[in-house]
Amino acid sequence: MIIFFLVGLTVHVVFFISIFDIYFTSPLVHGMTPQATPLAPPASRLVLVVADGLRADSLFTLLPNGSSRAPYLRGNIEKRGTWGVSHTRVPTESRPGHVALIAGFYEDVSAVAKGWKENPVEFDSVFNESSHTWCWGSPDILPMFAKGATGDHVYTHTYSAEEEDFASTDASKLDSWVFTQVTSFFHSAKSNSSLNATLHEDKNIFFLHLLGIDTNGHAHRPMSQEYLDNIGLVDAGVSHLVSVVEDFFGYDGKTAYVFTSDHGMTNWGSHGAGHPSETLTPLVVWGAGVQGAKTVTEPQPYSDGYLKDWKLEHIQRVDVNQADIAPLMASLIGVPIPVNSVGVLPLLYLNNTHRFKAESMYTNAIQVLEQFKISLCRSLISHSLEGLVYYHTYDRFFLGCSVVLGFVGWTSYVVLLILKTHASLNRHPNLTGQIPSLYLARLCICVTVVIAVFLFIQRSPITYYIYCLLPVPVWYATRSLSWFLGCLCLAVFPLMPVVGRDYNTCHNAYNCVVVLRFLILNYCPSIPQMIHVAVCSCVPFLTHSSLQQKQGLPLLNQIISWTTLVSSIVVPLLSSTRLFHRLLSIFLSLTATYLLLSTGSEALFPPVLSWLMFVWINIEQEAMLAQGVSSRQELSTIDFSANIDITKIRQLKLDDIRRSYFLYPCIFIITAFFGTGNIASINRSVYVIIPFIIVMCTFETIQVATQLSSRSISHYVIVMSMTIFLMLLSVVTHILTSQRLILWRKPKMHFP
């Protein structure tokens, strides 16, 4: 038992480690040389204001009286700058959003292990490339960029946890604290010659992180007055900030301003997913080197309807991906683009010469691939990013499937082991020789060799061999492939899309499966019925061709269809009442009718369902043998029409509850209903009742084979919601399985 637990622990550890190999791989590549535009930048400094949790519609939508709740930013949109929507990515959290804004790449997923707050892998950023960066705001965001910087030129000013407590009553005070600290900073710099000189250097960045809007959104929802009033406070603060900065630098026109948000927020005050309210954030850029507002008269290439809602149809809108803001800021102040950036420089935001734009785009292309010129940079960047995604994820599906197969196999093995240990379900000695263990072992060896050779050719790491080869011995130990494959194939049908009206070649595949199945069984009396099935499979094709040629519905097809529908109940009554003979006759008869109602892959549903039903019958028979039931009959000798000996009818057992409740109504009846494909364009009752009858006939067979009265077990089935319907089907299946019409006398033969 100790060895079993050690093996189980090892298996689960392997499955757990596989998650990190498949999903938690860093997208960062190190060793590149920073690339900067060689021309003089238009701005000497940049002010970045990030309003945490601000939605685009909350900022851009006007008040009912036509005014804006953010008049200063609205004025920059309409007169002095360029605006658009910044599209974020999942997870829409604060750290991933700021990393995309400032470093230009979408967050390393391994950061989730540290709560999106620490740097699992060091990365480059615009702050790191600047001469000096001063930051004010939340202690959750600012330190990660200071820790990732080379040197000590990134300075952070954050409020402590105690000071953050006052946000519980008025979260806007967090933003007021930031604006007050920035104002005090510039005022004190006037009397500090050393700081004053440092501030007047080129390539400086001032970063303001405003957490009040996000906090108010979580506490009061984005539609609350607290959230909307906080936007007005931020707008007034930005207006005052600009005046302070311009006054300090003497209105030299060398300051660029970027106002945006890290993520949005849903109407119920949450974020992290991919809803548009979370991924659409505002972007307003103005100042040195920024293109001024452009009036447009033609419709803009955006079909989301926001321009009309925001009353901004006449002002050019330029949308970007969130990572594009990092190269934009780097281009404005002339610092190298962060080496890990995947952003594409949005040229429409720049107000500069064509040469400067070309050099900036060329630098952007060199920064991504370092080898192509400006003429191919856009397409090259796109293809390179696609290549990176493929490189990181091309084996994800293969590994995921291997791990899932291994885990399902292990779970099945554990369940079987528990049942054998605690439920006394050991295999009967007579059945041991029936298992094709030699052939199964050879098959597993072949599969193992193929997988190993494939992984060797791919030069896969040793862990891949463990993930991919582990399912082989696990499934060999379970040896329940027939039931597993049957359930797996049957589970596909409810997931398939609704089929169209065109004839599908799956009918031909269906015929091959049916004919092969019964040729293997060598059931000669079913040959006329198999021919009938083949004819019925051609009827939908001929009907489709005739309707396409505008020739109407052929009379012959109508005769075949109505004759098949009527005879599907009568023909099985003419066959032998022996168990398999009658079941096969019922199946073929119903299949003919089902084919006439099928136009696509749903035609394969009855044989798969019937396959699983025959497996179920054999499993129940094997279970009876394993339990040592002395009165068990061989399936080949069971006759539906034989008189039931009342003295041999046994009492109910737990296995009967399992058969009547779990397997029968909860699994097979529901699967029979939802697995029939397209039921919208035909008679629903006729189409769905065929799989129901197949399941009911199987259940009747199990009741007869287990010598249990169908009347007594039906009382337990009555508990289900489909009581009346199931009772009617029970009567139909009883007639189908136990009655026989004799039209004329036949010579005596060995089997009736």
**275-290 per-position pLDDT tens digit:** 999 999 999 999 999 9
Do 337 and 401 reside in the same domain of the chain? no
Do 457 and 516 reside in the same domain of the chain? no
Note whether 513 and 604 are within 8 A (CB). yes
Do 177 and 242 reside in the same domain of the chain? yes
Residue 745, domain member (yes or no): no
Q: Please give the backbone phi and psi of residue 49, each rounded to the nearest 5 degrees, phi first.
A: -115, 120
- What pLDDT sits at residue 484? 66
Residue 635, domain member (yes or no): yes
Residue 382, domain member (yes or no): no
Find where tokens 């040959």 sit.
Answer: 527
Which residues 6+ apart lie within 8 Å of 40 measured at CB? Answer: 334
Rounded distance, CA 585 to CA 568, Å?
Answer: 10
C-beta atoms surrounding 575 within 10 Å: 21
Residue 629, domain member (yes or no): yes
- Higher confidence at residue 50 or residue 467? 50
Rounded distance, CA 182 to CA 500, Å?
Answer: 65
pLDDT band at 477 (very low <50, low <70, confident <90, very high): low
- What pLDDT sits at residue 7? 83
- What pLDDT sits at residue 169? 67
Residue 32, domain member (yes or no): no
Rounded distance, CA 455 to CA 452, Å?
Answer: 5
- What pLDDT sits at residue 570? 81
**The CATH number of the domain where 294 resides is what?**
3.40.720.10
Which of residues 479, 498, 520 is at a domain's end?
479
- Higher confidence at residue 225 or residue 483? 225
Do 529 and 598 reside in the same domain of the chain? yes
Residue 573, domain member (yes or no): yes
- In tens, the pLDDT along 62-112 reads 999 999 999 999 999 999 999 999 999 888 888 889 999 999 988 655 555
Which of residues 479, 503, 519 is at a domain's end?
479
Find where tokens 């008040």 sit.
Answer: 63
Q: DSSP E strands: which ranges in 221-376?
A: 255-260, 280-287, 320-321
pLDDT band at 185 (very low <50, low <70, confident <90, very high): very high
The stretch 263-281 carries a mean pLDDT of 92
Cα–Cα nearest to 694, from 622, 586, 597? 586
Residue 412, domain member (yes or no): yes
Tell me the three state secondary structure of residue 644: coil
Question: How does the average pLDDT of the chain come out, rounded?
Answer: 78
Do 442 and 564 reside in the same domain of the chain? no
- Higher confidence at residue 174 or residue 426? 174
Do 317 and 219 reside in the same domain of the chain? yes
Strands 45-51 and 320-321: unpaired
Do 509 and 437 reside in the same domain of the chain? no
- What pLDDT sits at residue 155? 92
pLDDT band at 573 (very low <50, low <70, confident <90, very high): confident
- In tens, the pLDDT along 23-76 reads 666 666 666 778 888 999 999 999 999 999 999 999 999 999 999 999 999 999
Residue 364 has pLDDT above 70, yes or no: yes
The stretch 348-359 carries a mean pLDDT of 95
Burial of 677 (0-12, 13-18, 19+ CB in 10 A): buried
Residue 213 has pLDDT above 80, yes or no: yes
- What pLDDT sits at residue 380? 75
Rounded distance, CA 435 to CA 428, Å?
Answer: 12
Which of residues 317, 341, 365 is at a domain's end?
341
Percent of the chain with pLDDT over 70: 71
- What pLDDT sits at residue 358? 93
- What pLDDT sits at residue 29? 67
Cα–Cα nearest to 126, from 368, 335, 362, 284? 335
Find where tokens 């050779």 sit.
Answer: 453
Do 541 and 669 reside in the same domain of the chain? yes
- Higher confidence at residue 651 or residue 394? 394
Residue 437 has pLDDT above 60, yes or no: no
Do 216 and 235 reside in the same domain of the chain? yes
Tell me the three state secondary structure of residue 50: strand
Do 101 and 135 reside in the same domain of the chain? yes
Tokens of residue 313, six digits: 């149809």
- In tens, the pLDDT along 486-520 reads 777 777 777 776 544 455 555 444 544 554 444 44
pLDDT band at 408 (very low <50, low <70, confident <90, very high): confident
Residue 682 has pLDDT above 80, yes or no: no
Name the range with the highest mean pLDDT among 5-14, 143-152, 185-194, 365-374: 185-194
The stretch 542-554 carries a mean pLDDT of 77
C-beta atoms surrounding 388 within 10 Å: 14
- Higher confidence at residue 597 or residue 658? 597
Q: Please give the backbone phi and psi of residue 290, each rounded to the nearest 5 degrees, phi first.
A: -105, 135
Residue 421 has pLDDT above 70, yes or no: no
Do 255 and 296 reside in the same domain of the chain? yes
Dihedral sign from CA coordinates of 215, 219, 222, 225 = negative
Residue 36, domain member (yes or no): no
Which residues 6+ apart lie within 8 Å of 61 measured at CB? Answer: 309, 310
Do 320 and 182 reside in the same domain of the chain? yes
Overall domain count for the chain = 3
Instruction: Give the domain range for residue 12.
Output: 2-22+395-479
Among 313-327, 373-387, 541-555, where is mean pLDDT lowest?
373-387
Tokens of residue 101, six digits: 């804004």
The stretch 197-218 carries a mean pLDDT of 94
